Amino acid sequence: MSIEIKAVTDENRAAILALHVSEKQISYIESTKVCLEDAKECHYYKPVGLYYEGDLVGFAMYGLFPEYDEDNLDGRVWLDRFFIDEHYQGKGLGKKMLKALIQHLAGLYKCKKIYLSIF
């Protein structure tokens, strides 16, 4: 099983922008276009593509936000956006990608807690 978490670049931006959830899920998460605009406005956000066996199957956006936790000098790591593209849902990829993201964030930020935005 090959899972990769790749930053959004000029090379994969169009494919990232083409990702979407089903019509009935649209009210639960922002589009990748909105997410990338948010990331331009806030440099803490790190938008990424989620790849399984070489295929782009989802999107996530996370970051370390130091101003949210004065008691913790390292700040808070937030997993703010996460979804699997409509065409890849129902195959167990959400669980696999979330597990990979948690491991990625724990290694990247050396954190013991990851905060979630939930709607």
The pLDDT tens digits of the residues spanning 73-115 come to 568 899 999 999 999 999 999 999 999 999 999 999 988 889 9
CATH of the domain at 39: 3.40.630.30
Please list the residues that pair with 76 across neighbouring strands.
Answer: 65
- Domain of 67 in residue numbering reads as 3-116
Task: Give the number of domains in the chain.
Answer: 1
Q: Is residue 55 a contact partner of residue 15, using CB atoms and an 8 Å limit?
A: no
Tens digits of residue pLDDT in 33-81: 999 999 999 999 999 999 999 999 999 999 998 865 555 556 889 999 9
Q: How many CB atoms lie within 10 A of CB 104?
A: 18
The Cα–Cα gap between 40 and 43 comes to 6
The amino acid present at 82, given as its one-letter code, is F
